[in-house]
């Protein structure tokens, strides 16, 4: 099956620094990738949708200057949390949609990245 990886799986950073999270589709091409945020014992909240080669579309309430998304290729999207603060601590999950074929209905999820800002 299709595999999505995230790196790093967990990161601790100091307040005010920036952190980059990578999301890769390993065995398929993803024209669209999604970034979600999940607080403990809560559901996934969509932050933004990114399409390869174009600007990301952010959900209402998500600061685009704080959460920078770059979808540079059909297999890689990055989320950079700029000037991180403790309230940005969360579980970030990416998802990728297969470019085509019968699996176009499906989004494949990465294992998530646990960010802790101290």
Task: State the residues that interact with another protein by CB under 8 A.
Answer: 4, 6, 34, 41-44, 46, 49, 93, 95, 105-112, 114
Nearer to another protein, 3 or 72 (CB): 3
Q: Parallel, antiparallel, or unpaired for β 76-81 and 90-98? A: unpaired
- Element housing 93 (H / E): strand 90-98
Nearer to another protein, 76 or 82 (CB): 76
- Would you give the end-to-end CA distance of the chain in angstroms? 37
* Smallest distance from another protein to CB 70, Å: 20
* Smallest distance from another protein to CB 109, Å: 4
Nearer to another protein, 23 or 117 (CB): 23
Handedness of CA 40, 87, 93, 55 (dihedral sign): positive
* Smallest distance from another protein to CB 27, Å: 16
Residues 6+ apart with CB under 8 A from 41: none
């Amino acid at each position: 099956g299709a595999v999505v990886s995230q790196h790093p799986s967990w990161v601790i950073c100091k307040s005010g620094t920036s952190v980059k999270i990578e999301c890769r589709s390993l065995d398929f091409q993803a024209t669209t990738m999604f970034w979600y945020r999940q607080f403990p014992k809560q559901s996934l909240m969509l932050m933004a949708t990114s399409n390869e080669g174009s600007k990301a579309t952010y959900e209402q309430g998500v600061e685009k200057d704080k959460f920078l998304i770059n979808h540079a290729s059909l297999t890689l999207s990055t989320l950079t949390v700029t000037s991180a603060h403790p309230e940005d601590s969360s579980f970030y999950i990416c998802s990728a949609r297969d470019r085509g074929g019968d699996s176009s209905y499906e989004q494949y999820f990465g294992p998530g990245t646990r960010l802790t800002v101290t």
